[in-house]
Amino acid sequence: MTAVMEARGLARHYELRGGVFRKGLTIKAVDGVSFSLNAGTTLAIVGESGCGKSTLGRVLALLEDATSGELLIDGRPTEGEKSAKDPALRRSVQMVFQNPYGSLNPRQTVGRILEEPLAINTDLPASARVDAARAMLAKVGLRPDHYGRYPHMFSGGQRQRIAIARALMLNPRIVIADEPVSALDVSIQGQILNLLMDLQDELKLAYLFVSHDLGVVHHIADEVMVMYLGRPVERGATEDVFERPLHPYTQALLASRPRVEVGSKAPRPLLTGELPSPLNPPPGCAFHRRCPYAQPYCAEVRPEPRQVLGRPVACHYAEEIAAHQA
């Protein structure tokens, strides 16, 4: 089965100009990301703030160009002059942003917000655009009379429903959700997550779900990719990663989440220190200064992802960690 989206060594670097007394610097916000995503599944991208997950989301949504690597949608490359001019390619992937209070135009009615993608990208007549917008309102759980109202008249949860509806107006195959529930009350988060899952089942959507909330990720994701300082350190099925994390950073992330457990389990290492500056990343393994398993070799050689227990892990001692958990 052809993946709806595939990344091969994807990178996004930013060049900072130097001054009279300093040379220019390169920020490697995303540096070598590879994965494949199938229809009807959800891949969650997790990590601390500054790990590059939101930048990766913008590159995957075709809002920013990759510095290097390859991104394919339905097996077709997104780079190159021919691909860049293909509107169908860009319509196939849409984005839901984090803040429903800032992502909607306050001067437009809900109806106009939903119709705008159709007006720009299709030849549908006005009456058909109105019908499509009203139908989408119903699909995301809003009433027909909401069509003529403005965003400030809605709650945060309702605004995020409008944002989801806008993302679906062009019938995309892939939706990239960047922290879509983090700005909402906990009582509303579950409603939005359930809506996303229902829409996925109905429309066979593929989701890329960017989040720092591991509880939300555990609820919605089929696969998890853990990022640290722009690079994936572990990727695998959600239950496998949560039950048996093989990278020390993944272990520390899971240990830091609040949970209630019955019975005793072996303690996992807590995350200490701060994420290094992407302007001056550590040599070797970027995590070695915070890692409880670090050895001198870790500061010298950067580990590349390799298969351990059937999933890619970028750690020199992943096999030893796996054996210790057995």
Residue 298 belongs to a domain: no
What is the chain's pLDDT, residue by residue, as a tens digit (326 residues)? 678 999 999 999 998 876 655 677 889 999 999 999 999 999 999 998 888 999 999 999 998 999 999 999 988 888 765 555 577 888 899 999 888 888 899 999 999 999 999 999 999 999 999 999 999 999 999 998 999 999 999 999 999 999 999 999 999 999 999 999 888 888 899 999 999 999 999 999 999 999 988 989 999 999 999 999 999 999 999 999 999 999 999 999 998 876 645 454 555 566 677 788 888 889 999 999 999 888 999 999 999 999 999 999 999 999 998 888 76
Of 261, 292, 317, which residue sits at a domain end?
A: 261
Residues 145 and 208 grouped into a single domain: no
Of 238, 261, 284, which residue sits at a domain end?
A: 261
Report the pLDDT value the prediction gives residue 264, as an integer from 0 to 100: 47
Residues 78 and 220 grouped into a single domain: yes
Residue 281 belongs to a domain: no
Domain region containing 14: 5-92+182-261
Residues 76 and 210 grouped into a single domain: yes
**pTM of the complete model:** 0.91
Number of domains within the chain: 2
Residues 112 and 161 grouped into a single domain: yes
CATH number at residue 24: 3.40.50.300
Residue 65 belongs to a domain: yes
Residue 149 exposed, middle or buried by CB count within 10 Å (0-12, 13-18, 19+): middle
Residues 88 and 106 grouped into a single domain: no
Of 136, 171, 206, which residue sits at a domain end?
A: 171
